[in-house]
């Protein structure tokens, strides 16, 4: 239980609506998670990131918070959370909860009071602005979910800012009372014993007080949003990532340090890697951060190498470098088996992705179901729940395809997730990959994940070591991790055809490491041979 446990940690993300239903109402909950803690402990992950379970109208499925300090009845009670936390700690699992600080639900009592008049006690707790003389919004800022980021309110006869849904008004962090209230809500959970926080949209806290328009982007951003979303056509200088946020993050870090808790921030920006470095460096802001840079459709050895090297360079520009957290799958993007795998059903691909995600320099987030190799589910429009998908259908189908319930039992209704009607359907291809079908076979993706993560824990070079990339043609990705006298070579074939490469002289005498379970690679006479989706891990010195 060291203070730096988060460095190189493997964090397993739970989307509670879809993990396990404890009361058979069709929606997952905290008692459901509690019932599966032994499964989670056996994965050999270090922490559980639980997406929002706070009281909410659920218009964005919990990312619209109505009460920061209470559990929504859909998910259980505060007593259920306390029981989950205690049981997780008993199994050596840390709990990271997902806090949405930049905005609330429009049903939050703070906003209900704020919108009631221009002179109430919370009148400036949200971002309000007068219309322009022609009645149009105050600025040209856009919402991530489509349309203007401003919504007219007839009670105040002003616009309010919402970077996401119109039902998610942005808090005014220029107001010190707001900062104090937000920090108090964070401390509420710290006092209950949580080990850390994932801070949603953590660069959206502040806006430009002068309300200046954003300029056009020199190149449309398709990393943070999809290509069909006009949000990427602006350079987001004034609506997020404002310099005032650094001071607030320092306040937040001071509070976290007081309780020995860790943080991971979600950063979506025009230059997310530089922002991640800025927000995590110098030891006085976030502990670590991740972005969408490896959550896009782009999949190549060159792309992965470029992102990691750019991140390393950005971190190196700071006197006390920060820390990256890499994610290749989560609740906001299509599943990696479909997004990067392009429909392959080869379990070797899913295994290789688990190794790739957890051997880059930094920490790693693994999304529930990826340890089973689940592909993206195809949800028809009439069953769609996600408002983001409804707004951009059919070119963008939303996020429901990666949010379907976990399949536990292949022959049970709804895959054993619930005995009721599940909030999203469980596709047949997921039932074939259910936990009970993978629990025993040694070669399954699930057992490979368990085995590899246990093996990784025994090799500090893969947790703390530096990273260096070696020259290799597509689709080969080669890099080394070094720590002290230990040096490890990792080689991956990111393609469906076998590949052969003559290794640099310094790496021709490496010996293969065993126990990790990754197959499909060998070195013979100085040549590296990798089978389709194959990998090789070898050492040049004792590790």
Does the pLDDT value for residue 304 go beyond 70? yes
Phi-psi region of 266 (alpha: psi -120 to 50; beta: other; left: phi over 0): beta
From CA 490, how far away is CA 492, in angstroms rounded? Answer: 7
The percentage of residues in the chain with a pLDDT greater than 90, rounded to a whole number, is 95
Catalytic-residue membership of 298: no
Q: What local confidence, expressed as pLDDT, does residue 222 receive?
A: 79
Tokens read off for 153: 């309110």
Helices and strands in the chain, H and E counts:
15, 23
- 543: nearest Cα among 473, 493, 483: 483
The per-residue pLDDT for range 104-150, each reduced to its tens digit, is: 999 999 999 999 999 999 999 999 999 999 999 999 999 999 999 99
Residue 70: which of 51, 57, 56 has the closest Cα? 56
pLDDT of residue 343: 81
pTM over 0.85: yes
CA atoms lying within 13 Å on the CB side of residue 61: 21
Query: Which of the following is catalytic: 29, 239, 266, 400?
Result: 266
Give pLDDT tens digits for 487-525.
999 999 999 999 999 999 989 889 999 999 999 999 999
Residues of the chain with CATH 2.60.40.1180: 466-539
Is 200 among the residues known to form the active site? yes
CA 519 to chain centre: 28
Find residue 10's DSSP bridge partners.
Answer: 364
What was the pLDDT predicted at 542?
A: 58
pLDDT, mean of residues 185-195: 98
Q: Is the pLDDT of residue 220 over 90?
A: no
Of 88, 57, 83, whose CA–CA distance to 72 is shortest?
Answer: 57
85, pLDDT greater than 90: yes
Report the alpha-carbon distance of residue 160 to residue 418 in Å, rounded: 40
- pLDDT (0 to 100) of residue 227: 84
* Overall residue count recorded for the chain in this entry: 543
Task: Answer yes or no: is pLDDT of 541 > 90.
Answer: no
**b/e per residue, 82-115, with b = 16+ CB within 10 A?**
eebbebbeeeebbbbbbbbbbbbbbbbebbeebb
Contact 121, 112 (CB under 8 A): no
User: Can you read off the two tokens belonging to residue 452?
Assistant: 């590899």
Three-class secondary structure of residue 213 per DSSP: coil
Fold of 10-101+176-206+242-456: TIM Barrel (3.20.20)
Q: Exactly one of 29, 72, 200, 370 is catalytic; which is it?
A: 200
- Using an 8 Å Cβ cutoff, are 115 and 109 in contact? no
Give the separation between CA 335 and CA 373, rounded to whole angstroms: 9
pLDDT for the residue 543: 54
Q: Which CATH superfamily, name and number, covers 466-539?
A: Golgi alpha-mannosidase II (2.60.40.1180)
pLDDT for 470 equals: 97
DSSP secondary-structure letter at 195? -
pLDDT average, residue stretch 36-44: 98
Measured CA to CA in angstroms, residue 311 lies from 195, 276, 431 at distances of 26, 8, 38
- The CATH 3.20.20.80 portion of the chain extends over 10-101+176-206+242-456
pLDDT at 3: 82
Give me the chain's average pLDDT, please: 96
Name beta bridge partners: 365: 11, 327
């Amino acid at each position: 239980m060291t203070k730096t446990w988060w460095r190189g940690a493997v964090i397993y993300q739970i989307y509670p609506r879809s993990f396990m239903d404890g009361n058979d109402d069709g929606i997952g909950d905290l008692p459901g998670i509690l019932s599966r803690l032994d499964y989670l402990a056996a994965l050999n992950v270090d922490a559980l990131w639980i997406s929002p379970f706070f009281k909410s109208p659920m218009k964005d499925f919990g990312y619209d918070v109505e009460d920061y300090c209470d559990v929504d009845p859909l998910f259980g009670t505060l007593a259920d959370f306390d029981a989950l936390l205690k049981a997780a700690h008993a199994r050596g699992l840390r709990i990271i909860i997902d806090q949405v600080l930049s905005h609330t639900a429009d049903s939050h009592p703070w906003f209900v009071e704020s919108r009631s008049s221009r002179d109430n006690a919370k009148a400036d707790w949200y971002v309000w602005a007068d219309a322009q003389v022609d009645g149009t919004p105050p600025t040209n800022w856009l919402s991530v979910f489509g349309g203007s980021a401003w919504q007219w309110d007839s009670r105040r006869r002003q616009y309010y800012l919402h970077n996401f849904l119109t039902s998610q008004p942005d808090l005014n962090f220029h107001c010190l009372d707001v900062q104090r209230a937000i920090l108090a809500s964070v401390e509420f959970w710290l006092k209950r014993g949580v080990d850390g926080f994932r801070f949603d949209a953590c660069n959206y806290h502040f806006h430009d007080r002068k309300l200046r328009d954003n300029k056009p982007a020199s190149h449309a951003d398709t990393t943070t949003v999809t290509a069909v979303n006009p949000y990427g056509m602006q350079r987001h200088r004034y609506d997020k990532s404002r310099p005032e946020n650094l001071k607030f993050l320092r306040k937040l870090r001071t509070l976290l340090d007081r309780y020995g808790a860790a943080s991971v921030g979600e950063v979506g920006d025009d230059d997310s890697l530089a922002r991640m470095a800025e927000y995590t460096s110098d030891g006085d802001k976030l502990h670590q951060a991740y972005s969408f840079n490896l959550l896009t459709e782009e999949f190549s050895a060159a792309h992965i190498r470029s992102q990691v090297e750019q991140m390393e360079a950005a971190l190196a520009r700071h006197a006390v470098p920060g820390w990256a957290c890499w994610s290749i799958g989560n609740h906001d993007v299509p599943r990696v088996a479909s997004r990067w795998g392009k429909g392959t059903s080869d379990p070797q691909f899913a295994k290789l992705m688990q190794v790739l995600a957890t051997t880059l320099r930094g920490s790693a987030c693994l999304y529930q179901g990826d340890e089973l190799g689940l592909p993206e589910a195809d949800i028809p429009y009439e069953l769609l729940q996600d408002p983001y998908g409804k707004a951009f259908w059919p070119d963008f189908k939303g996020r429901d395809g990666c949010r379907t319930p976990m399949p536990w039992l292949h022959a049970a209704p709804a895959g054993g997730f619930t005995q009721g009607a599940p909030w999203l359907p469980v596709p047949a291809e997921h039932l074939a990959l259910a936990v009970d079908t993978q629990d025993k076979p040694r070669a399954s993706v699930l057992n490979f994940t368990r085995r590899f993560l246990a093996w990784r824990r025994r090799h500090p070079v893969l947790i703390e070591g530096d990273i260096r990339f070696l020259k290799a043609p597509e689709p080969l990705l080669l890099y080394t991790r070094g720590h002290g006298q230990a040096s490890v070579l990792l080689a991956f074939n990111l393609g469906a055809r076998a590949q052969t490469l003559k290794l640099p002289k310094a790496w021709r005498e490496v010996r293969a490491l065993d126990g990790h379970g990754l197959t499909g690679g060998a070195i013979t006479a100085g040549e590296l041979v990798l089978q389709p989706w194959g990998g090789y891990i070898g050492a040049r010195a004792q590790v």
